[in-house]
Each structure stands twice: as structure tokens, then as C-alpha cells.
Structure 1
Amino acid sequence: MLMSNTDRPARLHYMPNGFRVLTPGDHVTCAVTSARIAIEDLRYWDVASQRAFASAALATEAMAPQ
């Protein structure tokens, strides 16, 4: 039986130039806003903290020194 990845969160391992899918799914959650990010739209993440971000502005804000 084929399993659909629709409406399932993916688990990813973020690397400097891409990511590896650990658990298949169709989206990840933004670390700042909790918004769903479709895997095909994912462009911003932090390798050190293994977090995804919905936009460059959110990633910059989250990684800025306090």
C-alpha cells in the first residue's frame, strides 16, 4: 500500500547546502511563527540549531545576537 505524505510533517536533518529527509512528509514548521512551510518552498534553516524558518527576515531575527 502506498502511503501519502499529504498533511504530514517531515523530519529533516539540515546541512550547510541542503537537507536530508529522516521522516517523509509534506511540510516543516517555522521555528519562529509555527507556520507550515512546504518542503518544496523551504529555503532558510539553521544548521547549528536544526531549525527551519519561513523567510530570510525571520531567520536573521532568530539568529541575531541578543
Structure 2
Amino acid sequence: MTVLRGELTIRQSRALIRTFKQMKDFIIENQYFIGSKELVQIAIQTNKNTNDIAKINDKISTLATKEDLKKAI
């Protein structure tokens, strides 16, 4: 995401950084209360989030490519 320039990319990058920081802080603050079942749920959700982010990146790349083509024409 940081390779691309644009308002959508900047907002997405900032949101992603905030989300990961919140997740990290939550896990650190509650590490003694989190059992193996919860860790599995966190891992599943993290995997889903990673897939969602990949889809967003693909869309952003496609949009960037279209913009590059428009500029070239």
C-alpha cells in the first residue's frame, strides 16, 4: 500500500496501522486472560483480515493501473 499514492491508499494504510496497534495492545493487556480457544479465534480473525486486506490491495492496484493507463493516454 505504501508504494501507491492517493487519498484512499493513505487512509487505508493509516486504518490498517491503527487496527494492528489496537490488536497488539489488546492482546498484551489481556494476555493472562486469553486461553487457547481465544488465541485460535484471534488467529482465525487475523487470517480473515489478512485476506480482506489482500482483496482491498488488489482493488487499489487495479485502480492505480487504470489511472496510470489514463495518464499514459
> TM range, normalised to the smaller chain?
under 0.3
TM-score by length of 1: 0.23
Structure with greater proportional strand content: 1
Which gives a bigger RCO, structure 1 or 2 (Cα 8 Å, sep 6+)?
Answer: 2
Structure with greater proportional helix content: 2
TM-score by length of 2: 0.22
